[in-house]
Amino acid sequence: MKHNHINLALRFTLVFFLTVGSFAGYGFHHFQGAGELTVTAASRGPVRAPHGMVASTSSIASQVGVDILERGGNAVDAAIAVAFAEAVTHPAAGNIGGGGFMMIRLKNGKATAIDYREMGPAAANRNVYLDQDGNLIKGEGSSTIGYRAAGVPGTVRGMELALKKYGSGKLTWAQLTEPARRLAAEGFPLSHSYAASLRGNSDLLAPYEDSKRIFLNNGKFFKEGELLRQPELAATFARLQKYGPNEFYEGETARLIAQDMKRHNGLITLADMHNYVAKEREPLRSTYRGHEIISMPPPSSGGAVLIEMLNILEGYDLKSFGWSSADRYHLMTEAMRRAFADRAEFMGDTNFVKVPVAGMIDKKYAASLRQTIATDHASTSAEVRAGKPPGYESEETTHFTVVDKDGNAVANTYTLNGGYGSGVTAKGTGILLNNEMDDFAAKPGTPNAYGLIQGENNAVAARKRPLSAMTPTFVLRKDGSLWFAIGSPGGPTIINTVLQVITDIVDYDMNIQQAVDAPRIHHQWLPDEIAYEPYGLSSDTKHALEALGHKLVSKPRYMGDAEGIMIEEKTGVRLGASDPRGGDSAAIGY
């Protein structure tokens, strides 16, 4: 089964019609009859496949993963090939110059988490991004732009660890990196959305010689349909094929990165590259209405914050409120507000600080938080925790999900942080470097690029891993079998995207595609406002929320790019869902 292609404009139209159905009161659960059929038809069905499925933000990478499954590889093999392919085809977020998290659930029920988050270089310290007056440095030299913004990349070590422990053994490292090498060498045609993305990020990329030459066509800009070839990146993958993962951290690639860093006053040294370690961690587990939830532990905040919100919401009969009702959005906002306040206060790298994860995901704690929520008026974030920062949102992370014929599953989220990371392509490597150091609290108590307040637990330190919102998650049926796997990009909106997909499925009986398509809201404690999507809230719902005391953003925006796979209960068919918000995303099965 090949790519089920739908034009992006049409796909957004489908979301619009899906939402209009809810405007008229035709919610998924409550309305029966012709109106329900209209809503169901407006959201295309998930892609169906009997054996294996890959859902990612790149149709090319999804096909690479399916090819690996058809050759006998398992879900982990396919995930590795997809990750490397997206380093070529989705350079805004796919990477080998960044890091992330891989959740794995094997057919025997064992679940594990691979942490390949970037690490702070040895030269990093609490004040490294502050000027002599103690203020945050802006522009070059800051935690967001240029050479000093990059943490030590973890993706290659993460893929190595996953392959060694959980690969099928049928395909080699060289075979899994070959599709990426070939794509980089031969090029791939740029979509309209990607050509526009490169042009739109020219201010970030143009100051750096290799970034300008490779991604901006030396200032001439690529047009839709033109091939993007990346010969230096192809050469890097060829070295990785020949010499294995150590080449990235100890060989020519590591030396090229370290030399370019030294020339431009960067923080990463050859010793930092040598010392990077990926880690296997125990996933967080909880339940929501009898369904087991398995998600990512720290240094991702995603799993703990997700579970805290689900625990709060479990105390309410959401189904009785209606999917698009102000009552539902009010309660979700109050849950989000409280969980994100805890995120700001407590979360960090557990190798450096004590994080009360067990307490945050405890159902008795959630019950105590519910007691502070009024159903007839909004809380204020000043009540929940003090502070009034500004903020904005970047969407540039990427998630993909894989399920193989045996039922092994991978949910993987990885990133460069901001779109195209720091803007720097390390000279001679073709590798875009992350700006992940901004996910530390560069100045505790001051908002980062996502508007998130972060405390002392997430202060910058050498060899420390910055806090993340990435939330790759599995949800099980009540019999313990895999029901669906989900994740998304979107900075702090990641956690709330996953939350809403889960509740849309569990509470409102949506299928995986309907839940991925459905409009979303977001609240992150500070700034104290509800973000929502275009056409996502009716005027009546907005007025009702404002009457409760909620503040809505002045300009709506689309949030996330969820990629999920569900297992159909009676048939075992894989149901793939790609997000209409992603211009090139695709679920492909066989």
Q: Where in the sequence numbering do the catalytic residues fall?
A: 397
DSSP result, 466-499: PPB----EEEE-TTSSEEEEE---STTHHHHHHH
67 CB-near residues (< 8 Å, 6+ apart): 81, 179
Residues 4 and 47: beta-carbon distance below 8 Å: yes
Burial of 133 (0-12, 13-18, 19+ CB in 10 A): exposed
d(CA 7, CA 151): 37
Residue at token pair 């899994």: 176
Give the SS3 label for residue 98.
coil
Task: Round to whole Å and give the CA distance between 98 and 489.
Answer: 14
Instruction: From residue 323, give the alpha-carbon distance in Å to each of 21, 487, 562.
Output: 11, 21, 19
Under 8 Å between Cβ of 150 and 199: no
What does the block give as tokens for 40? 């169901």
What contacts 245, CB < 8 A, 6 or more positions away? Answer: 156, 157, 159, 160, 173
Reading phi first (left if > 0) and then psi (alpha if -120 to 50, else beta), residue 437 is in: alpha
Radius of gyration of the chain (CA): 22
CB 530 within 8 A of CB 14: no
Report how many helices (DSSP H) and strands (DSSP E) the chain contains, helices first.
Answer: 22, 20
Count CA within 13 A, CB hemisphere, residue 250.
9
Query: Of all helices (H) and strands (E), which one includes residue 48?
Result: strand 47-49
Burial of 554 (0-12, 13-18, 19+ CB in 10 A): exposed
